[in-house]
Amino acid sequence: MRLWPRRWWLGAVLIALIVVATGAAVVVYRWQKPRVRDQIVTILSQQLGANVELGAIDVQLGSVVRVSGQALVLHHKIYRDGPPLVRIESFAIEAPLFAILRKPIHISSVEMEGLRIFIPPRHKPADPDNPAQQPPATDASIPAAPENPEEAKTSNGSGLAAKLRGPSPVVIDRLTSSNAELAIASRKPDRPPRIFLIHALTLTNAAFDRPTEYEARLTNPKPIGTIEAKGTFGPWDADEPAQSAVTGEYAFTEADLGTIKGIGGKLESTGRFGGVLERIVAEGATKTPDFSLDIGGKPMRLDTVYTAIVDGTNGDTYLKPVRAILGQTHLTADGGIVHTPGKKGRTVELDVLIDDGRLEDILMLAVDSVPPDMSGALRLKTRLELPPGDLPVPRRLYLKGDFHVAAARFASSTVQDKIDELSRRGSGRPTDEKMDNVASDLRGRFELKDGTLTLSPVSFSVRGARIEMRGRYSLVHSTLDFTGTARMEARVSQMVTGWKRLPLKILDPLFAKDGAGAVFPIRVSGPVKKPEFKVEIKKIFKG
């Protein structure tokens, strides 16, 4: 009776040793180099829909199994003529000894060097029943990230692909890569792929059948700057990689707007995004304390809040909309930043609306004079197009719209004095000094093309007088040429004082017209800094 417990204990130990030895034998058998190579190739081929090439590998067995390898290359089974889907110069895998016997295989860490990822263009036509594959719409919202793997499997095209391939055979606790490169091919064969340099990438709880958490630090190509992002990616769509899902939050810092020809400043932005690689919806805010244009002017603070749809295959961006504050002026813009056929670069196409702005904010950005030449309440509606090219912005920029400046005043005392005098004489009160610092009203339609601003018509009104003109202003040469009429409430004789009134009464009928006290045909021309103003006498007598 006393020997029984001891024999039972020895038997249990012997059984445990047999189990351990059997497990170790299974591990040794399964993790021989040829079998490890075959297992890696089979898993990657089935889960990623790729033809797999693998160079030399090494397997070290112990309490932790270590596998290292070189020259891992994955080719898409459909896009055979393009670059490989994935190219890895070297990798190192670590897994606890008995964790590799579980299903799925549980790997503690993977480290990669020389990672290159290429996302080919979509092979199949867009599915009309899949909203993620549709072109940008007027309203955009960020898709919610799935809360569980099962929902992710059916939430988009990539999830369907994962579901058809079944549960992931491998789960990786942590995967890291440094100095990787992501290239996303355009759907148009004549355009180069978009390339992102990923300085640091970490994936956690990575598997083929569910979204994988990631943290990444990368360089944005244009405007050049650093992006730090975290979120989820996948599951991978083996048939259409561009339809693989992605969500996340980002911080874009030290973005150099000077890398975009025509503008300058340092931009910072934060926001969130979601969708698929081919169509990402983003929401965020930007801050640029020193936004500037290369046509002149002073740097201005520019803050924006935006919703955008980004085509990750070519970088085309559709803004839906942007709400911005320039200085103290609020504006909204809808449109896009898209590729131009036959040209390198993108065209900015926007519909801009300023409902309650300040003229001085706009002038401060565009003109060197400080303070700005004019101030006033601004309303503006315009179509803006800025195509790519090497010409200066004034030669490339196209604008067409209308504007209204209310309660306008001039910074130059000399100019404002002239406006005050015009108002006094137009009102028939040439000596009334109480009519001082008179506000003006300016409105009209405009078109800027090839560096020339055409105003047709434009009206300038003060108390007692209204000037209506048409003409052109050259931004390139800083010259103007306008013709029109000046309409006064007062008659000619009422615009002067003393004895001069009497002889001018003879001319009152000559200048009176269409209910106005006096109408003068006028012309303003010459350099902007010193234009020539004259009354066209010949037109008076001709009329």
Pairing of strands 245-256, 116-119: unpaired
Mean pLDDT, rounded, for 422-436: 88
Of 69-73, 312-316, 435-439, the poorest mean pLDDT is in 312-316
Residue 515 lies in a domain: yes
Reduced to 3 states, what is the DSSP secondary structure of residue 239?
coil
Q: What are phi and psi of 386, to 5 degrees?
A: -130, 95
At residue 313, the pLDDT reads 66
Residue 181 lies in a domain: yes
**Model confidence at 10, in pLDDT bands (50, 70, 90)?**
very low
Residue 231 lies in a domain: yes
Q: Which of residues 356, 375, 401 is at a domain's end?
A: 401
Q: What are phi and psi of 332, to 5 degrees?
A: -125, 150
At residue 5, the pLDDT reads 52
Domain co-membership, 395 together with 479: no
Nearest Cα residue to 236 out of 48, 109, 486, 105: 48
Using the structure block, give the residue that is written with the tokens 């606890």. 96
Reduced to 3 states, what is the DSSP secondary structure of residue 499?
helix
Here the tokens at position 332 are: 């909204």
Q: Which of residues 401, 436, 464 is at a domain's end?
A: 401
Domain co-membership, 287 together with 397: yes
Task: Answer whether residue 488 shows pLDDT above 70.
Answer: yes
Task: Answer whether residue 17 shows pLDDT above 50.
Answer: no
Task: Name the domain count of the chain.
Answer: 2
Half-sphere exposure of residue 99, counting CA atoms within 13 Å on the CB side? 17
**Model confidence at 352, in pLDDT bands (50, 70, 90)?**
very high
Domain co-membership, 253 together with 319: yes
**Model confidence at 141, in pLDDT bands (50, 70, 90)?**
low
At residue 165, the pLDDT reads 59
CB 392 within 8 A of CB 293: no
Q: For residue 452, what are the domain limits?
A: 412-542
Residue 256 lies in a domain: yes
CB 290 within 8 A of CB 296: no
Domain co-membership, 357 together with 228: yes
Residue 433 lies in a domain: yes
Percentage of residues in the chain having pLDDT higher than 70: 81
Q: Which of residues 375, 401, 427 is at a domain's end?
A: 401
Neighbour-count burial for 299-315, b at 16+ CB within 10 Å, e otherwise: bbebebebbbbbbbbbb
Enumerate residues 6+ apart whose C-beta is below 8 A from 181.
115, 116, 117, 195, 196, 197, 198
Domain co-membership, 429 together with 394: no
Domain co-membership, 352 together with 450: no
At residue 493, the pLDDT reads 92
Using the structure block, give the residue that is written with the tokens 């993790």. 31
The listed range with the strongest mean pLDDT (100-104, 157-161, 187-191) is 100-104
Enumerate residues 6+ apart whose C-beta is below 8 A from 84.
73, 74, 75, 76, 116, 118
What pLDDT, in 10s, does the model give residues 153-171? 444 444 444 444 578 888 9
At residue 155, the pLDDT reads 42
Q: What are phi and psi of 305, to 5 degrees?
A: -125, 130
Task: Answer whether residue 19 shows pLDDT above 60.
Answer: no
Residue 95 lies in a domain: no
Residue 272 lies in a domain: yes
Which helix (DSSP H) or strand (DSSP E) does residue 47 occupy? helix 33-48
Domain co-membership, 323 together with 190: yes
Task: Answer whether residue 334 shows pLDDT above 80.
Answer: yes
Task: Answer whether residue 388 shows pLDDT above 90.
Answer: no
Task: Answer whether residue 11 shows pLDDT above 50.
Answer: no
In this predicted model, which residue has the larger pLDDT, 411 or 158?
411
What pLDDT, in 10s, does the model give residues 191-249? 777 788 889 999 999 988 889 999 999 888 778 888 999 999 988 887 777 788 999 99
Nearest Cα residue to 196 out of 210, 208, 182, 207: 182
User: What's the burial of 77, exposed, middle or buried (CB within 10 Å: 0-12/13-18/19+)?
Assistant: middle
Please report, to the nearest 10 degrees, the dihedral formed by the alpha carbons of residues 78, 84, 85, 86 taken in order: 150
